[in-house]
Amino acid sequence: MSAEFWIAQSFNGLSYGALLFLLASGLSLIFGVMRIVNLAHGSYFMLGGYVGLTVALRTQSFALACLAGAVAIALVGMGMERFFLRRLRGETLGQVLMTIGFALIFQDLALLIWGGDPYTVPVPKMLTGTVRMAGAVFPIYRIFIVGVAVLVGLALWLAMDRTRVGAMIRAAVDDAEMAQGVGINVPRVSLAVFALGAGLAALGGVIGGGFLGVYPGADFEVLPYAFVVVIVGGLGSLPGAVAGSLLVGLLDNFGKALFPELSYFTLFAPMAIILAIRPTGLFGRG
Amino acid sequence: MINHALHLDAVCRAFGGLQAVDGVTLTVHPGERRALIGPNGAGKTTLFNLIAGAMPLSSGRIALFGRDVTHAPAHRRAALGLARTFQITNLFPDLSVLENCLLAVQAHLPVRFSMFRPVGRYPALLERARAALQRLELEKLGGAVVRNLSHGEQRQLEIALALAGQPRVLLLDEPTAGLSPAESRLMAGLLRRLDPEITVLMIEHDMDIALELSDMVTVLHYGRVIADGPREQVKADPQVKEIYLGA
Amino acid sequence: MIARRALLAAVVIVALALIGPWLPAYPLTVLTQALIVAILAMSLDVLLGYTGLSSLGHAAYFGVGAYVVAIMTTEHQMGLLACLAAGVALATVTAAIFGLLAIRATGTYFLMITLALGMVIWGLAYRWVSLTKGDNGIAGIPRPTLLGIELSAPVPFYYFCLACAALAWVLMGLLVISPFGLGLRGIRGSEGRMQALGYNVWLHKYTAFVLSGLFGGFSGTLWAYYNGFVSPNDVQLVTAVETLLMVALGGSGTLIGPALGAGIIVFLKNFVSVYTKRWLLILGGVYIGVILFAPSGIVGALRGRRR
């Protein structure tokens, strides 16, 4: 294996990890604040991609597509939380079944509206093509994805660390009851976090749609990855989401490249080892 | 020091910066009735959790009948004869009173792994479960679902479960918590009739009952033992009096 | 109480046995499918309804059982008993390994780990093409022969599945009313109390997990013979969740409930999909409807339970 191979694969893993970060950071926050199991999170990704696709085709604007996708799905997510999930606090099984119900409905609606063919979200000219660095070739679009993830990560970190809203969220993650006790409007914080998580997932879907495509089944395909990231990183932890995304992105990529027949196994074995040592994930507080 | 039922040696437990239990050393002899008292937050229930194995120690040692159980999991300590009740009632809400007792009775028996015969076909088990209920005068409630019992009946069942396994050391965490004065008197009567062979360590807020049912008293304050000895001696201790003047 | 349940069970089994020859071919095969899936649903109920562990990876053991039969019959022409034994054994081993990893986790973590483990099996089915033929699946699984009797026709195969389902029901039924079963219900009620009473809770949960996988694998082996075709679709997340739905719809913690739930979902799938392509939409609606309106399932509602 040449150095080129390793560099290329590492970069692919990095960019995939960046995409996963968009998907999983929201999921981790949602878990952290509300302890909700949301199996429709992959659906947010897919629907975001589809909405972004339509907007991009209609308006020729990639930026607008990203915005529209994120906002639309954030609204969907808020609706789900406010009117359906809120009554299922603490009922894991109920949450699982209800969110899967939504996931199936979303899947069928997507099929109805957009049909069964795969599409690719059209991306602006300047993001296509490749660039040559250190003797290897890097697709610009993937660099773009990493850039977006880094920006989002920084923004989230600053928001959580420096703003009042961020402090409220962190308090709610730490101890929701106590937070409510000191006057934090936890239901409103929960709603906001849910919207944020859904919106980020959808953004990931639009951006991912530019190189992975948008297709039926993307929802259930990406869901286990999100879960593995959150398990490995630890519920409710932003650094955990970063570490987890990177790890999963790299492991998955190298696994597929080196041992294609073992796929999820190469992803899972390290996860098992990590969990054996730290059952609540790398940064989790269980 | 084999002549002790329970021995704690400089037991500590810290939560972040807070020392919940700070260097507690005490020895409880077989058959002794000891009350563990102290103001709220003194660390009494934490100490129970440490003794029972529900929580790991930060440092120190715990020995049960001479055997070091500092790192033993809770179920191993129970197998060695330790039983406990919970301050906040911790029963099996959807099961019947009899089923609750059966669980307590079969806990140390190989039959708990039996998978091919109905529980009802083990007359010995049923006998022991009913006897455990009788000891706390609960036998009439056998078929009732625990969720539907009154608070007082649930507190009694708490103790019945702890006794069903025929323990040698019994940790009672506020047995009269939430009971009316009349119910408390009933409970005190039941506790007075406990088998004298059992070593009892009891956390109790009701000072009268605590002192009435015990020979020895240990006083905990901010996680430290500040008084420890026979009941009358501790009652007269000026430091103890000072702490309880406001209680 | 037990005698009454046993009588009811016997009546149901006899009734099913009697109507067999009188049903037209299509309903008979659907009923056969329902019986096979009922075993899977009941196995999940042992874990979920009795021990209180919500698992999203149950399709894995189903899949292992099915694939073992598929490979052994098409590649090595092995007989029924050998295939059943191997399928169940391998599914049990899978559960034993997965259990070591999953049981140390609780609540949401357990759910997610079982999901990931289920995906591992799916991934193997999908990617290990040399063994499983990947996306194409393995076709041409012949109906078995039992002690010289050919089981290929619908009616004999139906009776075979009925016997298997009855056996599974009896075994799992005995399990849940045994002292061990009582222990599981105790764990579901209060793990802390069980620890304090002296139970090695980890060991009990692990055993339940493995047994649950055993019966799940049994269901899978029968499925391979029934369907004649095994593919990664049988092992996917949606299958695992469907099984959860059957348990919830029928009523968890009742054993008969999930069997009933399995029957309902199987019939819905087979008949509704004939009339409309929007089967997923309807199924999704059923999921949400069950949680909103019948949280303790059909049997739970009949027994007057309120969650």
The predicted structure's pLDDT at residue A185: 81
| For testing contact with chain C, the best of A83, A227, A262 (most C CBs within 10 A) | A227
CB C236 within 8 A of CB C247: no
Inter-chain residue contact B106 with C179, CB threshold 8 Å: yes
Query: Would an 8 Å CB–CB cutoff place C174 in contact with chain B?
Result: yes
Q: What is the pTM of this model?
A: 0.90
pLDDT, mean over chain A: 86
Touching pair B, A by Cβ (3+ pairs < 8 Å): no
Rounded Cα distance, C253 and C188, in Å: 10
CATH for the stretch A3-277? 1.10.3470
The predicted structure's pLDDT at residue B245: 59
Residue found under tokens 């975001």: A48
Q: Is the dihedral of CA C218, C224, C225, C227 positive or negative?
A: positive
| For testing contact with chain C, the best of A264, A275, A278 (most C CBs within 10 A) | A264
Q: Is the dihedral of CA A17, A23, A29, A34 positive or negative?
A: negative
Inter-chain residue contact C127 with A271, CB threshold 8 Å: no
pLDDT interval class at B40 (50, 70, 90): confident
pLDDT interval class at C196 (50, 70, 90): very high
Query: Would an 8 Å CB–CB cutoff place C198 in contact with chain B?
Result: yes
Across-strand partners of B172?
Answer: B202
The predicted structure's pLDDT at residue B91: 94
Q: Which residue has the higher pLDDT, C300 or A66?
A: A66
CB A79 within 8 A of CB A194: no
Contacts of C174 in chain B (CB under 8 A): 115-118
CATH for the stretch B6-81+167-244? 3.40.50.300
Residues in CB range of C78: below 8 A, 6 or more apart: C72, C86
Query: Would an 8 Å CB–CB cutoff place B111 in contact with chain C?
Result: yes
Contacts of C109 in chain A (CB under 8 A): 231, 235, 279-281, 286
Query: Would an 8 Å CB–CB cutoff place C132 in contact with chain A?
Result: no
Rounded Cα distance, B201 and B6, in Å: 10
DSSP state string for C132-186: H-GGG-EE-PPPPEETTEE--SHHHHHHHHHHHHHHHHHHHHHHHHSHHHHHHHH
- C72-103 per-residue burial string, b: 16 or more CB within 10 A, e: under 16: bbbeeebebeebbebbbebbbbbbeebbebbb
Contacts of A262 in chain C (CB under 8 A): 123-124, 127-128
Angle between helices C59-76 and C201-227 (to 10 degrees): 40
Q: Residue A82 CB: number of other CB atoms within 10 A? A: 14
Query: Would an 8 Å CB–CB cutoff place A103 in contact with chain C?
Result: yes
Query: How many Cα atoms within 13 Å fall on the side-chain side of residue A152?
Result: 25
**C31 Cα to chain A: minimum distance (Å):** 25
Query: What percentage of chain C reaches a pLDDT higher than 90?
Result: 50
Q: What are phi and psi of A214, to 5 degrees?
A: -120, 125
CB A16 within 8 A of CB A252: yes
Residues in CB range of B193: below 8 A, 6 or more apart: none
Query: Would an 8 Å CB–CB cutoff place A39 in contact with chain C?
Result: yes
Does the pLDDT value for residue B246 go beyond 60? no
Q: Which residue has the higher pLDDT, B136 or B128?
A: B128
Does the pLDDT value for residue C90 go beyond 70? yes
Of B53, B90, B103, the CB nearest to C182: B103
Rounded Cα distance, A23 and A204, in Å: 6
Give per-residue pLDDT as tens, C110-160: 888 888 888 888 888 888 888 888 888 898 888 888 877 888 888 999 999
**C1 Cα to chain A: minimum distance (Å):** 29
Inter-chain residue contact C178 with B114, CB threshold 8 Å: yes
In chain B, residues under CATH classification 3.40.50.300 are: 6-81+167-244
Q: Which residue of A has its CA nearest to C124?
A: A262
Inter-chain residue contact A96 with C241, CB threshold 8 Å: yes
The arrangement of strands across the sheet holding B6-15 comes to: B18-28, B6-15, B59-64, B67-68
Q: Residue A156 CB: number of other CB atoms within 10 A? A: 21
Query: One-letter amino acid identity for B221?
Result: H
Contacts of B112 in chain C (CB under 8 A): 179-180, 183, 199
C 43-62 residues with CB < 8 A to A: 48, 54, 56
Query: Would an 8 Å CB–CB cutoff place C113 in contact with chain A?
Result: yes
Q: Residue C264 CB: number of other CB atoms within 10 A? A: 16
The complex's ipTM? Answer: 0.90
Residues in CB range of B211: below 8 A, 6 or more apart: B35, B217, B231, B235
Q: How many helices (H) and strands (E) does chain C have?
A: 14, 4
Inter-chain residue contact B112 with C201, CB threshold 8 Å: no
Query: Would an 8 Å CB–CB cutoff place A270 in contact with chain C?
Result: no
Does the pLDDT value for residue C306 go beyond 60? no
pLDDT interval class at A51 (50, 70, 90): very high
Contacts of A108 in chain C (CB under 8 A): 278, 280-281, 284
pLDDT interval class at C77 (50, 70, 90): confident
Q: How buried is B19 (Cβ within 10 angstroms: 0-12 exposed, 13-18 middle, 19+ buried)?
A: middle
Of C179, C194, C201, the CB nearest to B119: C179
Q: What are phi and psi of B208, to 5 degrees?
A: -60, -50
Rounded Cα distance, A76 and A43, in Å: 11
Inter-chain residue contact C182 with B79, CB threshold 8 Å: no
Cα–Cα nearest to A148, from A67, A57, A29: A67
CB A89 within 8 A of CB A107: no
The predicted structure's pLDDT at residue A246: 92
Query: Would an 8 Å CB–CB cutoff place C128 in contact with chain A?
Result: yes
Cα–Cα nearest to A197, from A22, A19, A16: A22
Inter-chain residue contact A261 with C127, CB threshold 8 Å: yes
- Three-state SS sequence of A109-159: HHHHHHCCCCECCCCCHHHCCEEEECCEEEEHHHHHHHHHHHHHHHHHHHH
Inter-chain residue contact C113 with A231, CB threshold 8 Å: yes
DSSP state string for C261-304: HHHHHHHHHHHHHHH-STHHHHHHHHHHHHHHH-TTHHHHHHTT
Q: Specify the 3-state DSSP secondary structure of B150.
A: coil
Query: Residue C240 has what DSSP assignment?
Result: H
pLDDT, mean over chain C: 89
Q: What are phi and psi of B102, to 5 degrees?
A: -60, -40
Residue ranges per structural domain of chain A: 3-277
CB C131 within 8 A of CB C71: yes
Residues in CB range of B118: below 8 A, 6 or more apart: C2, C174, C177, C178
Across-strand partners of B26?
Answer: B8
Give per-residue pLDDT as tens, C197-237: 999 999 999 999 999 999 999 999 999 999 999 999 888 88
